[in-house]
Structure formats: structure tokens, C-alpha cells
Structure 1
């Protein structure tokens, strides 16, 4: 894969003078398959976009796009501050710019809801310096440019630095255990009644792992957490522990995978968004049970995070994350050995079949991974951005006139 390692000051001339193949890809953390390609060029921000600067009071942090979420949390922890990051510390700025769903999103919102300023260049090479204060009117209405970048930046611009509002680092109570499909359905229905400070995540591979995360100082969540303990204690592999902050979360899905299973060599991940499943949950889990029994590769998996609460209290028109009423983010992982096109085709067909089976109850898409190289990208864009998609396309025509970045 051909790569460039530009400094922030070189990004403008790099895009203005670009004459190579398009789209031009961007790599920050590198967890998305679309951050690297055997033919297309990538701008690798991990070498020179490494800024990490915490304000004197600790309430704001400036982050270079090449900093991973694990590095960010380690920088904030000694000051007693935090950001609601996700279940993995590996992603870079892509996590922050495409939404940023966390086990604490129900109480602290999405990562994009904490962005205060952005720097970089638009797709046409024009400098980009925007702040939330300048981009939001007195009545709370965000400019189209600000709204577009919060959730859809990879289509419009190369962001080199982000300023974020931090939050106090909070001790958490967490629990992990293995469950059966029927038990998973029960936990999902139970979680839909929980207070905002308690969330459920689950990962389905060889086995099904659940992860509960509770904010220790939140009284309603502590009460709901205590009510879960008798049932948790009876589950196989149950581990209940206290951690100092999100940076100490154990590897998600480790209990669900066979210990000898080889790591996936190549994969694609499709994130969906769904309202509460309620009484439909058992039927959905039965669909998942059948699909998981037919997965073509051991690396194929189904997982989910819980939303709601604070994520729903931000207007749908404030950012490009329009599915503010979503309660669940299920994601499907298709995996296959590298350089095996037949295996790739089987795994992607399996992903699409499961997607179609879940779609009646999972109408939205979370574009944390880009798929502009796949034939279903058009459907994905409509499911992700809904009525806001024409607005994003107008922004792209204005700021990425030569369509150097992934297509909308």
C-alpha cells in the first residue's frame, strides 16, 4: 500500500497538487479496512499528527489525528480527566469524527458531542479551522459545515487536530460473563429498562459474552447494578470488578472467542442502528442464532453496544449522526483469510444475508467504517444520513470539488 506521511502544514499543498488515483485514503488509527488499499494512496497521520495538549484546568484537550484512543486516555488519566471512548483503544481520530459510541454514551453522549474545534484541510486543500462557538447560532442551530464534519468528516476533509471537552474520570463497576442465546435475549430486554449510568454490550463468536458497565457514583445505576448481581453470579465465567476508568476495560470479546482461534486476516464491519427491540428480541436472537451457526469463517461475529439517554437529548439536526433515538448499535463482522477471493465472497454474502434479516428492526447505519469500495455503499449512505444526505452532497460539491476523498 503506497503511503504518504504529511505534516499538518503540508496537507493543503498535498491535496491541491494531488494527481494520483482517487479516492485518497486517510489513516489515523488504521482499524478500518478503508484506511489501506493495495492500489490507492493513503495519508498516514500517525507519524506527524501526534499533538496532545491538556488545558490548565483539564477541561479541554487538543488531540492530533494520529493519536489512538488508548493514548488519549493514558494522557488524561493522571489529571483525573477522561473522554467517552469505545470498547477498543486502537482507533484514532476516525472514532471521534464518525460518532464515537462508548459504554458511557448513555450518560455522557457521543464523542462528536464533545468536539469544540477542528483543524485540517477540506478535500480541495482549503484550510479548515472551525469552532463550535463560531459555528453554532444563539438558538443552537449548527452551520451546515459544522454539522457535516461531526459524523461525516472522512467524506469532506482531512482533519489533523481536534479539541474536545473532557469529563471527570469516573470509577466503574464492570461484569463479564458467558450466556446462552436465550439468556442474551433476557439481558437485552432487561437492559432497555436500565438508568443511563448502566449499559450492556455483547459479543457473539464461538460463544456469547456480555459486558456490563456501571458508573460507580450514580445512585440509580448502582441500584440497578446490585439487582443484576444474583443473576450474574450464576453465569459461567462471571467476573465482576472495579476499574478506575474506561482505559482499564478488558479486551472486548475475549471470552467469546475460542482461545486457539487465529486472528482474522481480512475483514469488513457493518454497523447498524436500532430502536428498542422489546418483545421482538427473542425472535431477533433466533435469527442471529441461525446465522451464527452458518458463519463461513471463525472470525465472523455479531456484537452490539447500548445507546439511549444522553445520545437522544441532542437534536438529530445538530450533527451528521441523525439516528439520535437509537438504543442499540449491532455490528456484523465478516472475516476471511487474506488473498482468498472465494472466502471473501462467502463471508460478505453471509454479512449481507444477516443484514437483510436484521434490517426490519435495525433501520439505521453507523458509518464508523467506510465501504465506498463495495456495491452496497449507496444503500449504506442513505441508511446512515437519511434526509441529511443531500446536504452532505452539497457540502462535498463545495469543499471537495475534485472528489479526492471517499464518495458520497
Structure 2
């Protein structure tokens, strides 16, 4: 029996989860987009994903893994050698075939939604090959990562140059807060929790539940971070960003909007708000949306700024894949005196009342209550009432099994 015959038979017999694993041997739907974050919104389990993403970063890889495609084809180099990006290792480790450097021509040849199949390192439409690339496996990815580590010194030099360039452009904003808009939300002397849908954001939000419950910080969602806040069961007070990766549900939840604009004042995200009947404050800046959220919280008097999913290390800055990440480095230096990462909060913060103390308090109260009843002149009456409650409970319990 041929591989294609087995795949067709399995496809008819197995659920969707199993089909995704068997998909490289059978026809699947092709989904394609040059922007990975846009593609993952419509990618379904078992689809074949076509992207154009040089140096696949960790966030993009995790989003692809969550969508469970049967294969990922990359028109660009998944590991260019500039620095050791972790995305390809995550994809390959999840058992998703990654075919590298299939070429940009495939975006013109292929059609969104058509049925295609992957055999080895080749994409076929029927029996016609559309493109071929390099199939990456764990061994080749690890070898490429080792080579890429030698490129870190050159990237560090570029990073420093970009940092100086950003400092020259945004000196007044960084040093004096010139250009930070006024907002309605009161942050003065309050805690601010800035959520970016980045590294380990779900785990960090879950770990911060006791902190959120006790201190009630202002929740600031950076683009898709607003959806992360809603998913965790909270409501954002502020949404900051260019509004391209946040859902309509989050935008219409009642939060105040701060639209990240280009330095010349153009704000494409404002058009989307207007289409929903909403309005927002415009914040022109050359940095990232993550940066302006931190600058906004600092300028408006937040006593403490806690971050979830933001970029904190040099590799994370480079993994973002843009020279502008130098702005995040400088922004963190600007607000560093009041900035705490979520992992630090979850490790250092403990509820002021421990579980042991709470149990001890309950036990002491029960002992006191029993002692008070025992010495009371109405102890006999209390005993009769309690026996009545107990008899009723036993009768109800017996009824459940009769």
C-alpha cells in the first residue's frame, strides 16, 4: 500500500488531531502570508503554512505551534546566521516539518486556500512540483545555531549603533517626557501592569493573580496583550499600540485607547478605531508600542511598573528582528528605577497572609467557639439544635443512595 493511500484512509478514519500529524503525506489547505502574525490568525490544524520570515523568532514559532500546521514553508532563511534565534528549534522540536528557503516566487505561483501536499522537501500541486527547499531537522538546526553564535559580535555593534541613533532622535522624549500625551486614566501613585503577548505571558499572568488581587494595578495591554488580559479574566484599563494585532472584542471592552503613531503623526490604527465608532489618544514615537506603554506609565506617575511578556535580554532584543529594538533597551534604562519583571514579582511577592496562618486562625476560632458553647448555660439547647441539623444531614445523605 502506498504512502498516499494510507494517508487518504487515515484521513477518513482519524480525528483532526491525528490528521495534523499525518498531513505531510496528503493534500492539505495552503495558507500564505508574508507576515507570520497575520497568518497565525487564520491558520487551522493540518494546514500548510507559507511564510516569508527571516530568522524565525520565538514568539512567531510558538504561535505557529499553537495553530498546529502540518508543515511550515519559509521563503526566507529560518536561520540566517546573524544570531542564534530560537524559533526553528521550537518548530522542529514540536514535530512540525520546516522547509527552508523555498523562494519568494512561490507567493506568486501558489494560491491562498488551494489544496497542496508536501513530500519530503517539495511542495506539490497534484503531481506538479511548485517549489523545493531545505528540510530542517534537529541536527541541522542545532548546527546552524552554533554557527550563528559567532555572529553575535557583529550584531552587538549594529545594536549599539541603532541605540545611539534612537537616542539622538528621541532625546527629548526619553530625558524630559516631551511628546507624551495626556490621558484620562489615573496612574498617579498606582501600580501599572504592562502586558505584551510575548515570552511566557500566560504563565506570568497566572503567577501574578495574588498580586493583582491585592494591589489592583492599572492593566495596560500592548496590542494583543489586551486580549491576553481578557483571556486571563481581567479587563484592561488602557490599550496601547498600533492596533493591528488586537481583537475587536478587546477594543470595545471600554478601555482607553492610546494609538502608536509614526513620528510624523500618521496613525493607521486610528482608522480602525473610527470604523468601530471609537476614538483614541495619538502618541507619535519612533520606538515600539512596548516602549511607549512604559514611557506613558512612567510619565503619568505610576509608582511601580510590572511587565509581562516584554523583552529583557539582548538575545530577546535581537530575536525581535528589528533594529528599533534598541529603543526598548533605552526605554528600560529610562524607567528602570520603578520597573519590575513579572517573574521577579512572582518570586518576591507573597500574600501577606500565608495559608498556614489562615488555617491556624480558623482552627483557633473553632476552638474558641466550642469552648464558649461548652461553658454557656444554653449549652444543652445548642446541643439539641446541632443534633437536629446532624440528623437532617444524615437523612438527606441516606436519601441520595436509597
Compare CA radii of gyration and give the structure with the larger one. Answer: 2
- Determine which structure has the larger helix proportion and give its number: 2
Per the normalisation by structure 2, the TM-score is: 0.28
- Determine which structure has the larger strand proportion and give its number: 1
